[in-house]
Amino acid sequence: MFSDFSSWAVGKCWILSGTETGCHACRSRAFQTCSVSQESGEAPDIIHEEASVILEEMAHRLKISTVRFFAFTLTKAFKTLFQHICVNEEGIHRLQQAIQEHPVVLLPSHRSYMDFLLMSYILYTYDLALPVIAAGMDFMGMKFIGEMLRMSGAFFIRRSFGGDKLYWAVFSEYVKTMLRNGFAPIEFFLEGTRSRTCKSLTPKIGLLNIVMEPFFKGEVFDVHLVPISISYERILEESLYARELLGVPKPKESTSGLLKARRILSENYGSIHVYFGQPVSIRSLAQDKVNRCKYNLVPRHIPRKPTKETQSFVTDTAYRIVRLQEDSMVLKPWVLMASILLQNLEGLELSLLTEQTLWLRGLAQSCGAFLDWPDHTPSAKVVSSSLALHRGLVCVSGGRVSLVLGEPQGLVTPEEALFNRAVSVLSCASYRNQILHVFIRPAILAVAIHNAASSKKDEVFNCFSFLCKMFSDEFILCPGDTVQDFEEACYLLVKSGSVQTLQQNIVVTDRGQSTLSFLNGLLESFLQGYQVVCQYFCEEACDSLTEKQYIPAVRSFAVKLILAGNLRCYEVLSSDMQKNALAALLRLGAVSKVKVADQVTLKVNKLAVNSLEDTLGGRLPTQKAVLARL
Amino acid sequence: MFVCYGVLVMLHPNIGLLLNGFNEHLLPTRQEIMKWNGWGYSDSKFLFNKKGQAEFTGKRYRLSGMILPSLQDWFENTFGASVKQHKSPATPSLNAGALPPANLNEAFLQDLTATGIPFSHEADDRVFRAHGHCLHEIFALREGRGFQRVPDMVTWPNCHNDVVKIVELACKHNVCVIPYGGGTSVTGALECPPEEMRCIVSLDTSQMNRILWIDEKNLVARIEAGIIGQDLERLLNEGGYCTGHEPDSMEFSSLGGWVATRASGMKKNVYGNIEDLVVHIKVVTPRGVMEKSCQGPRMSTGPDVHHFILGSEGTLGVVTEVTMKIRPIPEYRKYGSVVFPNFEAGVACLREVAKQRCAPASIRLMDNEQFQFGHALKPQVSSIFTSFVEGLKKFYITKFKGFDPHQLCVATLLFEGDRERVLQHEKQVYDIAAKFGGLAAGEDNGQRGYILTFVIAYLRDLGLDYYVVAESFETSVPWDRVLDLCRNVKERIIRECKERGVQFQPLTSCRVTQTYDAGACVYFYFAFNYRGLADPVHTYEQVEHAARDEILANGGSLSHHHGVGKLRKEWMKESISDVGLGMLRSVKEYVDPDNIFGNRNLL
């Protein structure tokens, strides 16, 4: 289904008309909007001026010569870097058709800087209209390259503009004008930013809201959302991400940084799979869910807060799209191997690894994973070539496979050694994370079965639903879908023969033990990590703990635990997990934010945190009462 | 029916009196010259003659007796229909056996007979008044299926007092009364509720058709509500006056019907809609007669009670007499037309005309589909010269001016007033049009547009002969949403047809037929070839339902002038809110607690 196109010729003729007029139209409408939306009594011409500046900063200036230049260099670069770039051509045909019918919004997954270059490159190669892309402002800081990106269709948005009404007005009008005029598809990342962990981030709904509005207001008949899954066999930023997660600040995007990245060109990064999903019609999704008549009573250029009904629809849609992205992520054998290796940090025999990988392959397939396992190749060869591609992460010595622990360079402090080890673990985890979406529901169920006081279905469900609530920032679990998720999990585990449902009881079968223990292992580090965070709040956190201090504090707390030999979980060092855990505690009300003189401090309800910790660890049964109190 | 009659005879020794009632059936009604299962006059219809050419029969219209050489091609190409192979003719006559027997209320009948007001329970009379002109109604008639429930009898009051008597008797004997005017309803308003167990009396107002007086000092006339539009206009014209109220159905619709549905006339820009034209209304309700005590031109006496009646759709009572504004016949009248490169330009122009408040008596904008359709209805040209001129015009517009024949659209105009003013007005409008790329396209095109208005309704019957169902519906919408609404509704129709298994591309077309300060009235035509569908009417209704949902979602109203009837009842709550609906209900409850006017429209 994927076709290889690394040898495509570049040199297409391109006609772009009307882009300029589009900008003008947008300008005038945006101004109109602004004058209305601005509550401050500022003079209209000042607002006009401000809006002009914003628009100047934001707008794209698509120039086909730049795109050609990019395409040319990218072809070169891609050829050096990757073995294959595979694209599902039927997806391209679907996209072609969709673009002719309705405005299209491209929603790729976001794992790498490469993503949007890659997208433009593919669309260019297939002679499709180039997308205009909402890119973070930080790219703009890159001299020259920023302008180049702008000329290949990117427009820039500030990372945060929550309070700036004028900015919001200009921005949303800009996007909507693009959409209404339909000159080009719009592209942005639902996840908001690159996922450093390779697991999908919970979607941000702001932009999605903006692109849906023209439909709600009847300005367009329909808008099609196209989920796109970009899977990298090896990510360029692999170890960069791990370091970033461990607290080494990420280098500011700069042109010189990109030049240094040339080093990367000499390495092999395997192949990339780009899967263009079935376009999703907002009209069909919104049927019976959104009452568009609500938009009849206020002029359409006046920005309005979406209603509750609309908001929950947009959220649902966002989750649905991210799940579609996940479902079409192509998984390589290495992903399976990484998952097994992480559960055997001390290393394991190559033959055992091969055997377990094959077993996991079967399980993954029965759960609907989109595996790219080379046919007609002996499994030993598949395993060994994966190990070769990822030799930076694993080493094989004496028939034993284990994670690389970083080169010992002379004298290292215990902290440095721990840090090096953590880099390996987090890098490896970023591959395991790629398969989490396949197993997440059964895995949560496995933990629930393990933790629940009895095998009664409703008790297991209680436990399941608690875990879903706890982990809803960590994994893609659409709020409000818990019952469905539970049923899906039961279905998959029953299907694989791991559990049986007998008269309102969920019973693990004999041959299901290994599956359940694997699934438990999959979530082990998350359960431990969250418990460590809880422990930190109960034992260490002082009253004046600010939000900023939280990450380094929890990190050093965990380092202490690990060095003392009380903790073997390295993933808790990841700032991503720490942030998610905090978000969960805030959401569940166990921790709250208090603003004290310009500083946001965290106020801890130790009792609540403690009971959450115990519930996570399975030491305290999940009780409705506990949840209610939280 | 004979059984019924027999029963009556047995009950009633005074057979002479009864027969008297029947003899009065020789009333001057138009039933004889009208189709029983289609639109308009029996002698006027479109057909494909033996040579395969389309013609319009009869002598009543400008198009009558003419050959329309391009209609067949247009028809076959647009619908994928085949004139030769696929015919779906109507059953020739009504199957009286299929009719439910008349459920008569003897006591009522006895009292009614005593009043001397004529009545009938002939099958033909009852069926004729059992329906309007919705697709499902006409389709059922053509198939000879008839209806589940029809009026049990028809009565013809001659004046206001007759109506008072009938309504009193109906209340006394608990009989359901359904007022009937011109029978042109397209909302199912005339359908009898199938669950109605009482005797249903169709109250036909056609005999109340006099102009009672004309007051030239105040320029108003007192008119009986049963008068038909064209008769009213003709009679007033004799005295040098007109009302200027010209709905497209004016050949057949009645004054009472206009009031009951809040009708709108083509020339409302000069004369106003029915609510602007009416000065005084007299209405007979189960509670008694309601009328205002004076004919002042405007009053502040609480909410205007006329507005309970305007649009009440026969649920509160019978309108018997109306005082209406009249105007001297305009000295000069001129048609005109403008071609626009596309619909968007046309709408922008109409919006500007409305903004400058200089709309001519009528201004209508047809989209490209309708423009092409209008072309298909062009009669055979009589001389080589005319066809040469036509060719030149076409060349000028499409080649010289670069208009795309598949994009361009036409606005038709009608100016009225004194000559000088009309010419001045005309210039103003053409100047505006020019700003939006519009080219004047002659009087002839304009006039033809308005003639088509009257014959277009006949075309549905032609379509039905060849497996094509068609219907129109309308809405009103704010200016800024006109284009979006038109596009989205058309697209929705096409999509719904596809989803519901319609095998052929449907025709969807719209036109802007009225301009207002704050918006416009949009009229949709929609037709498709139903070959291969099990239940075309049901499919049609589903699509229309979806189209109405789309209209509402795009900021359009439930109806501009057709009304609600039974067809659009389900959206009333959403349209006017719970409280609004409750207000209407409480009026109904007070005025007609026993639901004598039980057609169950609106609420």
Contact B555 A296 (CB under 8 A): yes
Contact B554 A292 (CB under 8 A): yes
pLDDT over threshold 50, residue B10? no
Residues B128 and B37: their CA atoms lie apart, in Å, by 9
A289 touching B, CB under 8 A?
A: no
Residues A204 and A189: their CA atoms lie apart, in Å, by 9
Mean pLDDT estimate for chain A? 82
- The minimum CA-CA distance between B552 and chain A, rounded to whole Å, is 6
Residue B254 is predicted with a pLDDT of: 96
Contact B484 A218 (CB under 8 A): yes
Closest residue to A221, CB basis, from B481, B488, B574: B488
The answer to whether B187 and B567 are in contact (CB under 8 A) is yes
pLDDT over threshold 60, residue A173? yes
Element spanning A84, H or E:
strand A84-88
Contact B491 A218 (CB under 8 A): no
Q: For B44, how many CA atoms within 13 A lie in the half-sphere containing its CB? A: 18
Residues B529 and B505: their CA atoms lie apart, in Å, by 8
Residue A624 is predicted with a pLDDT of: 52
Range with the largest mean pLDDT of A247-251, A414-418, A566-570, B582-586: B582-586
State percent of chain B over pLDDT 70. 93
Residue B385 is predicted with a pLDDT of: 66
pLDDT in tens, B442-467: 888 888 888 888 888 899 999 999 99
Q: Which of A300-314, A557-571, B85-99, B384-398 has the lowest mean pLDDT?
A: B384-398
State percent of chain A over pLDDT 90. 38
Residue A176 is predicted with a pLDDT of: 80
Query: To which residue do tokens 């367009």 refer?
Result: A220
Q: Which of A125-139, B231-245, B278-292 has the lowest mean pLDDT?
A: A125-139
Residues B512 and A153: their CA atoms lie apart, in Å, by 39
pLDDT over threshold 80, residue A239? no
- In the predicted model, what is the mean pLDDT of residues B296-306? 94
**Residue of chain A whose Cα is closest to the Cα of B493:** A221
A298 touching B, CB under 8 A?
A: no
The answer to whether A243 and A423 are in contact (CB under 8 A) is yes
pLDDT in tens, B323-367: 999 999 999 999 999 999 999 999 999 999 999 999 999 999 999
Closest residue to B554, CB basis, from A218, A291, A299: A218
- Read off the pLDDT band of A626 (50, 70, 90): very low
> Residue B247 carries which side chain, given as an amino acid letter?
P
- In the predicted model, what is the mean pLDDT of residues A601-618? 88
Residue A53 CA, distance from chain mean position: 32
* Helix (H/G/I), strand (E/B), else coil: A607: helix
Nearest to B208 by CA among B183, B225, B190: B225
Residues of chain B contacting A300 with CB distance shorter than 8 Å: 480-481
pLDDT over threshold 80, residue A36? no
- Read off the pLDDT band of B51 (50, 70, 90): confident
Q: Which of A398-412, A563-577, B162-176, B468-482 has the lowest mean pLDDT?
A: A398-412
- In the predicted model, what is the mean pLDDT of residues A228-257? 75
Query: To which residue do tokens 């059964």 refer?
Result: A442
- Read off the pLDDT band of A566 (50, 70, 90): confident
- Read off the pLDDT band of A18 (50, 70, 90): very low
Contact B484 A296 (CB under 8 A): no
Mutate to test the interface with B, among A33, A219, A220 (most CBs of B within 10 A): A219
Residues A488 and A461: their CA atoms lie apart, in Å, by 12
pLDDT over threshold 60, residue A118? yes
Residue A270 is predicted with a pLDDT of: 80
Q: For A609, how many CA atoms within 13 A lie in the half-sphere containing its CB? A: 25
- In the predicted model, what is the mean pLDDT of residues B139-157? 92
Mutate to test the interface with A, among B344, B481, B575 (most CBs of A within 10 A): B481
CB-CB neighbours of A421 under 10 Å? 18
**Residue of chain B whose Cα is closest to the Cα of A294:** B553
Range with the largest mean pLDDT of A250-259, A413-422, B142-151: B142-151
Considering only residues A501 and B598, tell me which one the structure prediction assigns the higher pLDDT.
B598
Ramachandran quadrant class, B563 (left: phi over 0; alpha: psi -120 to 50; beta: rest): left
The answer to whether B559 and B518 are in contact (CB under 8 A) is no
pLDDT in tens, B94-124: 777 778 899 999 999 999 999 999 999 998 8
Point out the residues of B that are catalytic.
523
Residue B411 is predicted with a pLDDT of: 95
Query: To which residue do tokens 């289609």 refer?
Result: B38
Q: Which of A86-100, A136-150, B221-235, B258-272 has the lowest mean pLDDT?
A: A136-150
Residues A146 and B86: their CA atoms lie apart, in Å, by 65
Instruction: Compute φ and ψ for A296, nearest 5 degrees.
Output: -80, -20
Residue A418 is predicted with a pLDDT of: 85
pLDDT over threshold 80, residue A166? no
B180 is in an annotated binding site: yes
Strand partners, A2: A88
Residues of chain B contacting A293 with CB distance shorter than 8 Å: 552-553, 555, 574
Residue B88 CB contacts under 8 Å (≥ 6 apart), including other chains: B464, B465, B466, B467
- In the predicted model, what is the mean pLDDT of residues B244-259? 95
pLDDT over threshold 60, residue A543? yes
Round the CA-based radius of gyration of chain A to a whole number and report it.
25
Residue B12 is predicted with a pLDDT of: 38
Residue B170 is predicted with a pLDDT of: 97
How do beta strands B278-285 and B200-204 pair? unpaired
The answer to whether B368 and B408 are in contact (CB under 8 A) is yes
Residue A522 CB contacts under 8 Å (≥ 6 apart), including other chains: A339, A343, A432, A436, A439, A443
pLDDT over threshold 50, residue B317? yes
How do beta strands A104-108 and A186-187 pair? parallel
pLDDT in tens, B467-491: 999 999 999 999 999 999 999 999 9
- In the predicted model, what is the mean pLDDT of residues B131-152? 92
Nearest to A75 by CA among A122, A109, A128, A112: A122
B315 is in an annotated binding site: yes
Nearest to B448 by CA among B52, B138, B20, B61: B61
The answer to whether B528 and B506 are in contact (CB under 8 A) is yes
pLDDT over threshold 50, residue B269? yes
B202 is in an annotated binding site: no
Mean pLDDT estimate for chain B? 90
The token pair at A15 is: 């006609």
A294 touching B, CB under 8 A?
A: no
Contact A221 B492 (CB under 8 A): yes
A292 touching B, CB under 8 A?
A: yes
Contact B555 A299 (CB under 8 A): no
Residues of chain A contacting B481 with CB distance shorter than 8 Å: 218, 300
pLDDT in tens, A175-221: 888 888 777 888 999 998 888 899 999 999 888 998 999 999 999 99
- State pTM to two decimals: 0.86
How do beta strands A154-157 and A394-397 pair? unpaired
